[in-house]
Structures are given as C-alpha cells and as structure tokens.
Amino acid sequence: MEWNWKKFAFGAVTLTSAVTLAACSSGSGDKEKTASEDKKIVVSVDTGYVDYIKSIEADFEKENGVDIEIKEEGMIDTLDKLSTDGPTGAAPDVFLAPYDRVGGLGADGQVAEVKLGNEADYDETAKKLVTLDGKIYGAPAVVESLILYYNKDLIKEAPKTFDELMALQKDAKYAFSGENGKAVGFLANWTNFYYAYGLTAGYGGYVFGENGTKASDLGLANKGAVEGLTYAKSWYDTWPQGMQDATKAGDFITEQFTTGKTAAIIDGPWAAASLTEAGVNWGAAQIPTLANGGKYEAFGGGKAWVVSNYSKNMEVAQKFLDYVTNEANQSSFYDATQEIPANIKAREYATAKGNELTSAVIAQFANAQPMPNIPQMAEVWEPAATLFFDVASGNKKPEEAAKEAVSTIKEAIEQKYSE
C-alpha cells in the first residue's frame, strides 16, 4: 500500500526576480526564457507512473504553452518534505497524496484549495475523500477498497455470505495442524483496524459522526459497534493463536493462503501481484454479506492529485489537475497501471475490460465509506487495533474494550486538537 513519486525544484524567487529585471534591459531571447520558466510546472510521480505522465504530457504542453518537468520521488517522501521544501522553492507543483493525508495537508496550508474541473464525473464518496470543512484540496485519481480473494483450486465460486464463509471454517479440510479445534477456511486481519472497519460499519458502528467530520462524536462503542466486536470474537474463537498477533497476523494470513491451506481472505488490490507471483489460482469478488444482513462497508481509499500551496503556477497546476483526471486520461491511466480510476466514466471503461479484480474493487467501493481525512483520525488507529486485540484474546468483554478505546481516543484528541 505504498507508492513512490517524482519532483523538481524551482529556482529561488530572488533568482527569478533577477532574471526578470535583466530581461527588461535585454533582448527578446531573455524575455522568452523568463516566460518559459514562468510557464513550467513540476509533476512529482513514482517510477511506475513516469511513462504514463510522459504519454499525456505533450498535448497538455501544446494546449497550454507550458513545459512539464517530471522527476521521480516516493510519494510519502514528497509529502514529508513539503513543509521544508515548499518555502525554499524545492517542492513540486503537482503530486499525488493518499486521501487520508489530503485533509490534514490542506488544513496545515501545505496543499492548495482547488476546484473539481470534472466534478460531474465523480461519485459522492470520491468527493468526500478530498473535502474538509467544505473546501476541496485535491482531484480524486485512484479509488481502492478491500475485497475478497478466494482460491479457485479449493472452491468453485466466491462465497456470497459470511454464513458460507463459516461453513468453510467448519470443513475438516481447513483444520489447522497443531491447534485442535482451530481452522483457516477464511481469515481476516481484524487486529488491523483498516481491515476491521468494514465489519464495524456493517453492524452500525462508525469512527466520527457527521460523515467522518465530527471528532467529538465517536461511534466505536455504540450498540452496533459492540455487536460487531462480539461477532468478530466468534471468529477468533475458531482461528489459530497466530491470528491474535497484531504484528504478524497479516503475514500469517498470506502464508496460509499462498500455500493452499486457506480458501478465502480479505485483502486489497495491492496484494494481487504477490498472490500471482506465488502461483495462487485466485479469484476476486465483493466481500460477502455479513451475518446480520449488512454490507461490509470497508474504508474507501486511494490517491488524489494535489497542488502545492507554495506553487508559483497555481493556474497552470489547476489546469493540469483537470486534464489528468478527465475521462480520456483516467482511462489511459487504467490501461497503464490497472489501478481503478476515480473518474466514473473511466471506471465504466475499466469495468468493460472484464478484469475480475477491477470489477471486485469497483463493486466493493460502491459500499465503501470515505476514510475520515480530518487530522484527528491519526489518534484512532492504535486504540482501535488494541480494541480488537483485547476482544480477540479474551482479555476484555466487547463493551468494556470499546468504552476504553473510545476514552483513549477522546483523551488524545482533547490533548492535541481544539475544535
């Protein structure tokens, strides 16, 4: 779930000013040079996206009379250095950011408020992922969600309900060697809250109220959230001890699935390549309906194009956001990367390709909830993971564990933030 990206540094303002002054008393060649520098934007992208940007840059440059400079740098590296690189002119103009960072970067003044030039081509979930306090800080580029992977050599089709998954769990062929009464027919890494949230939400729990924007309203200990925890405990009672290890459960699940011992798991589209490399004859599908009849409402995630608030070319940067996220370029983005475009029309194009993984992600994203992008979300991950561990291990009853987690989160928020 990690990406890399590319950037280039602008000359210092003082240097630009000096060139401009020189141009006033020099020939037209210097004037043209200054104009060219003023009409350049730097686009930061990961190695895997360089060829895509190169394939679309020429038309944009011609239409707008600008030069695009492409350089490679890890996306998170770009974001982490923005506050220091920005003031010196070393930050790129345009780059990608995961949705859960967009709101915080906008609130901190690191990325600029933008307009959605292709607003009609986004669904509400995608729009919410880049919006904070009514302000838009990015153009949605990629959408992601967790899905169900299943081993086609073990089961003919994807289970449709969690009851069917439990039936697999009770099948003797999925018994776990070394732990009597334990099985690995279906596995899910619920001690990682990113994976567990779909279960919580499917039972009526939530992180923050008002669509993830009201940090004072925590819904991780309401009736539905407790019911979801109780249901999760019923699964942990059937799983091997290793599933309770918050640091190793993910690797345990992958190992069981890739060695043909597990029929179905929950994971993200980023897992597909490694599963193929491991030789698994896998299929992908929407996550089954929960035991209460609810949908597994996993977090909707992905990446958005954003503009540095330090950019000297805001107008051109905005035009690039509109250009790179239009239907044609989002469709070519899918062809180049197999990542799901946020643009709805381009998503329809991707669906028509008949790729099983693509169809599964798109179907699941339809039920996804926008991950809260307010800064307070940072205080949720660890206590929420501890919450599931405490219940899974039997250390605490669901209601007790939920109340303690909410108390911990509230205390952290009160100490670090003011509303």
pLDDT tens digits for range 291-346? 999 999 999 999 999 999 999 999 999 999 999 999 999 999 999 999 999 999 99
Q: Output the pLDDT for position 178.
A: 87
Rounded Cα–Cα distance for residues 260 and 262 (Å): 6
Q: Give the residue among 271, 96, 67 at the shortest CA–CA distance from 189.
A: 271
Residue 340 has what pLDDT?
A: 95
β-strands 186-187, 264-267 pairing: parallel
Q: In this predicted structure, what is the pLDDT of residue 410?
A: 97
**pLDDT tens per residue across span 18-70:** 333 333 333 444 444 444 456 899 999 999 999 999 999 999 999 999 999 99
Task: Report the alpha-carbon angle 93-100-251, nearest 5.
Answer: 115
Cα gap 13→31, rounded to integer Å = 17
Would you state the pLDDT for residue 38?
63
Alpha carbons within 13 A on the beta-carbon side of 187: 30
Please give the pLDDT value at position 1.
38
pLDDT of the residue at 417: 87
Nearest to 262 by CA among 247, 273, 275: 275
Residue 108: per-residue pLDDT: 92
Q: Which domains does the chain have, with CATH numbers?
A: 13-144+300-359 (3.40.190.10), 147-297+380-416 (3.40.190.10)
Task: Report residue 129 CA to chain centroid gap.
Answer: 10
Separation CA 183–CA 57 (nearest Å):
52
Nearest residue to 126 (alpha-carbon basis) of 369, 398, 406, 404: 369
Q: Are 97 and 79 in contact (CB under 8 A)?
A: yes
Q: Are 379 and 240 in contact (CB under 8 A)?
A: no
**H or E element that contains 71:** strand 67-72
pLDDT score for 141: 97
- The answer to whether 126 touches 327, Cβ cutoff 8 Å, is no
Q: Which of 148, 126, 106 is nearest to 300 (CA)?
A: 126
Residue numbers of the chain with a pLDDT score lower than 70: 1-38, 418-419
What is the pairing mode between strands 299-307 and 139-144?
antiparallel
